[in-house]
Chain A
Amino acid sequence: MKQLVLVVIFVLILITSLVKNSTKEIEDQIFVINENIRPLKSEHEDVLLEFNYLSSPEKLVQYQTQYFEKDLIKIQIMNIKEIIENNETLEINDLISKNSNE
């Protein structure tokens, strides 16, 4: 009985040390990944800032007058349709339905 208890304790210690060892390895991997993500995140933020500036409404209006003055036209809201997927069939409705009371 005594021996059995000792064996159990020894096995538990062994398992604990193995688990601890593997978690340590995972922790190291997480740390390395985090460290690699950090500069990428910073780079992504800078690119996003540049994108936000270049695609700002002011810039888009500038590009429109520069390149697409005649190609881009304004669509009336009453002409915009809405596609609704309904049991494998597509239903096309007006986005804004004209009020019958008016």
Chain B
Amino acid sequence: MNNKKNIILEEYENEFSYKKSKTNLDIQFNRIAFIFFVFLMISVIYSIQLVHLGSLKAEDSKEFLTINKNHRADMLDRNGNYLVKTVKSIDIGINPIEVIDKKKLLINLQLIFPDKNYVEITKKLEKNKFFYFEKKISSDNYEKIMLLGDKSIKSEEKLTRIYPQKNLFSHILGQIDDDNKGISGLEKSFNEKLKQTNEPLKLTVDTDIQFLIREELVKFQSVFRSKGSTAILMNVNNGEIISMVSYPDFDLNKREKIVDLKFINRATKGVYELGSVFKTFTVAAGLEEGLINTDTEFLNLEKKLQCGKSSISEYDNKIPSDLTVEQILIRSGNIGSVRIGQKLEIIKLKAFLEKIGILSKINFDIEEVGEPIPFKWGKCKLATVSFGHGITTTPLQLAKAYAIISNGGFAVEPSLIKSELKNNQQKKRIIKAGISEKINPILRKIVTTKEGTAGLVNIEGYEVGGKTGTAQKTIVGGYSKAKVNTFAGIFPTSNPKYVLIVLLDEPKTSSDYVYEYKNKKGSYKGTPFNTAGWTSVEVAGKIIEKIGPILATKYIEN
């Protein structure tokens, strides 16, 4: 019964024993190395960032400069005279809520400012709303009013721009608004720079010359009763504008809002058809392409050409039928210019005009710049463009083009900002050598010979050369009777230094004005023709007579 069953378990032999895996990977060591590596990388990145910040140039760090709201740099002319200066002014306001004794305050104010309208001021005090009591207060009155010790009197520092030359540079300098923001002229285009820099901005203009040129424009405004006028005097070698006047102008100190179109900057914004002054470009393009020479003859030139619906004729029927290139330019022959243009063909004439910067909008220091009206080239357009009709540009671009043609064919960029850097830059030739040497003597002959149209500008001692342009103003669907008379001159022609552009917008003849002949003795009363030769050339002559001695003595180049 007692069947005992014994279960005998075989002795279990556990063969498992824990052993460290014998891999080559040392986890502990690698973890520390990894942490070190991460720290190393962070420190390297941080160091690179530090080195980068340390190596930043001064110019790059400009953006970090704080802009002082009440700061605006001054502007000087080329001789260091102030054209615009910032002065701090104080405006006094009253906060009626803080007034303790209104009667006492009014009595005190009446003692300091006896001329003010106190009925109105009392009304303002009753309204309990802050108001300005006196703007741009004098230092004496400021001291007196602050000594009253009234808490309601608040002083506020404001920035004021003073223009000591009043109207003289109105179109160049431009204006700022109440928030110290430039709204026109250089004040607008150099707004950020003027706010950031402490150094005054030095311009290329000369106050004395600007004044003398403006004075002549003002004088002849009453003689020729023109709608407006403009003159530009520029250095042909570096593009520095010594004077740029557009009349009528305005007094910048009055801070008026200018909306009337008659105040437009005619020198840069006015886009005009300038007439025969373009003939110089046609001849220069022909010489550049080697298609003509100054003595190349054009025989049997017609008196009238028909192109589509319109006809092209000479302005003077006495012009001979056989003319050399030189004579075409001197006598301002329309048909001869058309023939040169036809020799050139559209591509070459267009390329030349583009090269001297006539056809596209100019890049200039002020933003008020006009854009030449684009047009479609064709056979008739080629003919009219050859003698300066059906093509528009600005007087500034005309000055630039004449500078390039007369200075030996080097590129110039008109500028209002004085920069030594520009003078040291190497000149870039854009027209073949020798063209200026051929054109300049012809421009001189236009002034010295009796066939030329600009005899009135032949002022002794200055070797003036130039070309006249009389053009009718365009209106919708044709031309009006109103004219634009232009003179584009260079002097001295033996080694040109200056280009002078004088443009009269819609001048009229004068019956009383007395002309003094320059190439012969005697005088002539009254304007015989409303052409550039009798209007803008006379103005240019008077300008050179006045500014010539200054230019000759002040700007002698050693």
Q: Which residues in A have some Cβ–Cβ distance to B below 8 Å?
A: 45-46, 48-49, 52-53, 56-58, 61, 75-78, 80, 95-96, 98-99, 102
Contact = CB atoms under 8 A, between A and B. Distances in A.
Interface stretch (B158-166, B384-392, B409-417): B158-166
A95 to B, nearest CB: 6
Contacts of A99: 463, 494
Q: Which 10 A-B pairs have the closest CB atoms?
A: A57-B211, A53-B164, A77-B461, A96-B461, A52-B82, A52-B164, A52-B81, A49-B85, A77-B549, A78-B461
A80 B553 contact: yes
29 contacts: A45-B74, A46-B87, A49-B85, A49-B87, A49-B162, A49-B164, A52-B81, A52-B82, A52-B164, A52-B165, A53-B164, A56-B207, A57-B212, A58-B165, A58-B168, A58-B211, A61-B215, A75-B549, A76-B460, A77-B548, A77-B549, A78-B460, A80-B549, A95-B552, A95-B553, A96-B552, A98-B461, A102-B448, A102-B463
Contacts of B552: 77, 80, 95-96
B166 A58 contact: yes
B208 interface: yes
A45 to B, nearest CB: 7
A102 B445 CA distance: 10
Interface of B: 74, 81-82, 85, 87, 162, 164-166, 168, 207-208, 211-212, 215, 448, 460-463, 494, 548-549, 552-553
A95 B215 CA distance: 26
Contacts of B208: 57
A5 B114 CA distance: 82
A56 B82 CA distance: 10
Contacts of A45: 74, 85
Interface centre among B164, B168, B215, B462 (most CB of A within 10 A): B164
B553 A56 contact: no
B82 A49 contact: yes
A11 B166 CA distance: 67
A99 B548 CA distance: 16
A55 to B, nearest CB: 8
